[in-house]
Amino acid sequence: VELLRTLLSRTLGLGRDKPEPVLDELSLPGVSRFLKSDRCRDTGNGGGTGNGAAGIPDFRSPGTGLYSNLQSYDLPYPEAIFEIGFFKKHPEPFFALARELYPGQFKPTVCHYFMRLLQDKGLLLRCYTQNIDTLERVAGLDPELLVEAHGTFFTSHCLRPSCRQRYDLAWMRERIFSSLIPKCEKCQGLVKPDIVFFGENLPSRFFALMESV
């Protein structure tokens, strides 16, 4: 309770304690001075925005979002395209959509390269992102500093529990753009990109590193 009270006091200005200012000035120079100061040693970044600036359509914007343009896939409801149970029975709609979203068609934004700059200066502790587009990797972020909470297109695995064969980005790309349903070369099971579908758990790495912060 005391921790919560202190947090609210500092961030919202509640209680008797005045919030301790982080920046000496609310401007880009002020941010720059803070980043170069002794008070800023490790920076954690939370990614989840910036898709629109990179040209990637979002999911829910009326008229332009992905969910508004899925009529051609004959889905029972828009979200079904990302449900693991539906995918296992009907993978075709997802892989048709994947051709439109596949990594390599979009470029990192200035925000992605800012994270890279923090890394190069030794200031980036970790980058958490819910994006699945691999743009953080394209910008040059070290995978060891990257936590992809909703998974990634960067790798794929066979869905059969007895197999779980791993495949890389180039392997999956070749099959998606050949309009083939990706099948495991080892057991002929269905292969899915390592993005988190509805009905799946978040990656164990997310929880392990979240507890270490």
pLDDT at 188: 98
Cβ–Cβ under 8 Å, residues 195 and 132: yes
Q: Domain of residue 139: give its range.
A: 48-212
Give me the number of domains the chain comprises. Answer: 1
Where in the sequence numbering do the catalytic residues fall?
Answer: 150
**Position 72 in a domain:** yes
Within the chain, residue ranges assigned H as helices are 2-12, 28-36, 84-89, 92-101, 110-120, 135-138, 169-176, 204-212
Tokens of residue 15, six digits: 């209680």
Residue 111 labelled as part of a binding site: no
**Position 119 in a domain:** yes
pLDDT at 5: 60
Q: How confident is the prediction for the chain on average, in pLDDT?
A: 81
**Position 68 in a domain:** yes
Q: What is the CATH number of the domain that holds 155?
A: 3.30.1600.10
Residue 127 labelled as part of a binding site: no
pLDDT at 1: 47
pLDDT at 2: 59
- Given a cut of 50, the residues of the chain with pLDDT beneath it are 1, 48, 54
